[in-house]
Amino acid sequence: MFRSTNKSDTIGKSRFAGKKLLVFFIFLLLLFFLSSCKQQKPENKINDAVEKYLYVWNGGILDSLDAITSENFQMRINPTFEPMVGRNKLKESISRTRSVVPDFTVKEKEMIKLGDTALALTWDISGTYKNTKDSTNYGRKTQASGFSVIFFNEGILTGEWIGYSDLTWYKNLGYELVMAKKK
């Protein structure tokens, strides 16, 4: 039933061809996995968008927000966390901040990706208060620490929730917390 050949030129060739084929498929599989691992562009894209976003807060051109934020960008900031909706509201908020603190800077401390649609960012903010309507605190330097939860979709920033110690910010400007007297 079984034929056995002892020809020296055929011994082991079928096993050798099978090994070659197996190695070839393993190589293709490895190549597929390596190429798919390199496709982390959404993560790099969001990192780039956040970097550009912080650059705008640090004095960059407001119109550069058009390329990295959604038209319906939603910002919430303490103490009220009332939503400000729209890219133009974001630009107004940044402009308002710059008008009273022209050297306003945000220094990123840590960024943690929370999933496919959000990340947390801790930071320090600082600047010199230059509100001409407040001569008693004009020229004072201030700083505070805080955090943001930044929301995104397909590399575009869709919103930000900002929390920081506004008490620390205002105390550095010379304001004091005065408790109401009980009657």
Distance between CA atoms of 3 and 58, rounded to whole angstroms?
Answer: 82
Distance between CA atoms of 96 and 163, rounded to whole angstroms?
Answer: 18
Q: Which amino acid is at 33?
A: F
Name 24's Cβ contacts closer than 8 Å, sequence gap at least 6.
Answer: none
**pLDDT of 137:** 79
What are the 10-residue block averages of pLDDT along the chain, 183 residues in total?
50 56 57 46 74 92 92 89 92 92 92 88 91 83 90 92 86 85 82
**pLDDT of 169:** 84
**pLDDT of 38:** 40
**pLDDT of 66:** 94
Our measurement of the distance from residue 171's CA atom to the centroid of its chain's CA atoms, rounded to an integer in Å, reads 29
Domain ranges of the chain: 8-39, 41-172
The CATH architecture assigned to 41-172 reads Roll (3.10)
SS3 (DSSP) at 29: helix
**pLDDT of 2:** 47
**pLDDT of 95:** 94
**pLDDT of 52:** 93
DSSP secondary structure, 58-123, as one string: TT--GGGGGGTEEEEEEEEETTT---EESHHHHHHHHHHHHHH-TT-EEEEEEEEE-SSSEEEEEE
Predicted confidence (pLDDT) per residue in 146-162, tens digit: 999 999 998 899 999 99
